[in-house]
Chain A
Amino acid sequence: MMQPSSRLVGIVRHLLLATGAMLVLLPLLWAIRISFLPAEDVFSPQFHLLPSRWIGFENYARALTASPLLRFLVNGVVVCAAIILCQVLVAIPCAYILAKGRIVGLRLIWLAVLVGLVVPPAALALPLFIMAAQLGLIDTYAALILPWTISPLGIFLLRQAFLRVPDELIEAARLDGLGEVEILARILVPLITPAIGALIMISLVAHWNDLLWPSVVVTSGDKATPPFGVMLFQVQEIGSDYGPLLAGAIMIAAPLLLVFILTQRRFLDGLSWTGSK
């Protein structure tokens, strides 16, 4: 019979998956643990899995008061919102033309997008920094936002989504009398919302968590985004007081986690939808 052996396969599969999940989750759980430990436990020679005394949210309170953490979170929201808005607004028309346009030289531009896709952002940090410095944008929101307003990945994702929309639909809209902008806004964008959602999520994760670029162009806590802010705060204020530090780290990761949990089904749909199916 198939039944017992397939159940065994199921158990093994779940064990493997659970182990994998634990490996991924362990650092996070560890961080949560430490964020509730009093300072003496962190450095005590004995290992305590649980805090020796319950300090409640003291570390969290300390993280919030010792550093402008809320300020960092606001900065993060402003910067990410601006980046994502620009990326979507730029990627939609670009991707549409790349998918459906009949203009000479389009292949060359597509090639440029692909090149942009494979260049690691870190490689651009120095030239971008020099440009930002010459424009006098160091330590401004503009410096944090402008380099990322055009996303090759976004153009790529949306182009693949537009390619799947049949030409006849666009032609029907033309016959119905819609102009190009309205075709895009009324017909095509609603059809590729899963891909746009995927782009928003990917971009949000990347820029919320970005440490490198803020550390290049931001010099004060005033414009620091959450991860960079926490790093500043570690060095300047708390030194190596890990409890509050990790409490801060958890608070900056929480918004992202929340967004992801709320949208995960649509997000995964979007990713699989843009792949070849």
Chain B
Amino acid sequence: MSVLVVRGVSKSFGAGSVLSGIDLDIGEGEIVTLLGPSGCGKSTLLRIIAGLEVADTGAIEIGGRDVSRLAPGARNIAMVFQSLALYPHLTGRQNMALPLRVRRLGRWQRLFSPLRLSQSVRTIEREIDAAVDDLAARLAIAEVIDRVPARLSGGQRQRVAIGRALIRDSRLLLLDEPLSSLDAKVRAQAREEIVQIQRSFGLSCVFVTHDQGEALAISDRIAVMLGGRVAQFDTPAEIYRNPVSLEVARFVGTPTINCFEGIVDAQGRVHTGSFLFDTRLAAPAGDTVTVAVRPEHVRLGPARELSGPVLRVVRVEDHGHDGLVHLGRGDSLAPALIARSGQSTSLRSGDEARVAIAAEEALFFTRDGARLESTPVRMADYARG
């Protein structure tokens, strides 16, 4: 059963539409990332799920129950904010206990509980304390739980924030770019911690990020959000290999996918200035299409080994585990390309390299950016050896 269903959610602020027709479903124990550039509406969507914003149309269902009209506090959602939003004047324990105190004690009991008047209130307070201790131990912050946030490290603060979110036993955790304030080294570690906590508590999780590396690393599925729509909602591998549109193809992947134009011939093959992709493309002859190729699918070799055009190496980035070769147009008709080379490459800037691209590894899009189905016939323009 889906833990969270988003159905046809739209939202506009004034004249500008921020979200239109968003549909998502998130299954039990799944991490779904909302990935998109800033301003794509991903944070707004998360806030609508949490109830902090009201959608213009559409519905939010949590655990099979329509919560669209419920106040944020009544939705039983755990949320960790970008700034963590810990209450600075309360200790870690008080921060974590607050949601429980709100649920288990009445308004007046809360107000007068410091006076220790009633037996039942004291019992409930003890239970809350025990619950906080228990969760703090599971999050490995038991020793620091009585400190105020200012006296905790970044990682401890994050865990207190997660603790405050989780103490309500909700099945759904929302995370709004919780890692963006951390520096790169701590980030990877904090990311692992979140995944570990999510797995060990068996939570479903919606994670907002603009960092595709983060999204690809932790997600079961990614919703790529572009211009207020879910452009594609699929597993990281599918989104990378099989983008439904040129937009998605360009947004996902570092460095950006290589794009250049080609023309479809009568057999459905695609000609570019220097490559011929022997495929059967479902597009009318004479149409201009966009060819997109991931850097790792651009094959480079010494001039005698491959059959493609020869390009000039402009610059080589050696990252150690792999390298990027920037190829310039030179005097051939070939487009400028970026190729990912293996562990290290002997190519240096100024060298010439022969380039080949396999037809089955190229993606084709119409001029509007929609994906075209292609059926490769054989390895085109490819190495004989």
Residues of A within 8 A of B (CB): 166, 168-169, 171-179, 182, 187, 190-191
Residue of B nearest to A189 (CB): B89
Assembled-state Cα–Cα distance A166/B86 (Å): 11
User: Given A176-B102, A177-B102, are A171 and B87 also a contact pair (CB < 8 Å)?
Assistant: no
User: Given A177-B102, A191-B88, are A168 and B81 also a contact pair (CB < 8 Å)?
Assistant: yes
How many chain B residues touch the partner (CB < 8 A)?
Answer: 25
Let me know if B241 is at the binding interface, CB within 8 A: no
* A176 neighbours in B (Cβ, 8 Å): 73, 98-99, 102, 164
Is the contact region of chain A dominated by helix, strand, or loop, or is it mixed?
A: helix
Say how far B242's CB is from chain A's closest CB, in angstroms. Answer: 37
Residues of chain B in range 48-95 having any CB-CB distance to chain A below 8 Å: 50-52, 71-74, 77, 79, 81-83, 85-89
Do B102 and A168 touch across chains, with their CB atoms under 8 A apart? Answer: no
* B72 neighbours in A (Cβ, 8 Å): 171, 174-175
Do B102 and A178 touch across chains, with their CB atoms under 8 A apart? Answer: yes
Do B107 and A174 touch across chains, with their CB atoms under 8 A apart? Answer: no
Do A190 and B99 touch across chains, with their CB atoms under 8 A apart? Answer: no
Number of residue pairs spanning A and B whose beta carbons lie under 8 angstroms apart = 55
Residues of B within 8 A of A (CB): 47, 50-52, 71-74, 77, 79, 81-83, 85-89, 98-99, 102-103, 107, 110, 164
User: Given A168-B83, A169-B85, are A178 and B52 also a contact pair (CB < 8 Å)?
Assistant: no
Do A175 and B79 touch across chains, with their CB atoms under 8 A apart? Answer: yes
14 A-B residue pairs with CB within 8 Å: A169-B87, A171-B47, A171-B50, A171-B81, A172-B85, A172-B87, A174-B51, A174-B52, A175-B52, A175-B72, A175-B79, A177-B102, A178-B73, A182-B107
Residue of A nearest to B74 (CB): A177
The 6 closest A-B pairs by CB, nearest first: A177-B73, A172-B85, A177-B102, A168-B85, A176-B99, A168-B81
B52, B77, B107, B164: which has the most chain A beta carbons within 10 Å?
Answer: B52
Say how far A48's CB is from chain B's closest CB, in angstroms. Answer: 56
Say how far A103's CB is from chain B's closest CB, in angstroms. Answer: 15
A171, A178, A187: which has the most chain B beta carbons within 10 Å?
Answer: A171
* A179 neighbours in B (Cβ, 8 Å): 107
Contact of A171 among B52, B74, B88, B102 (CB under 8 A): B52
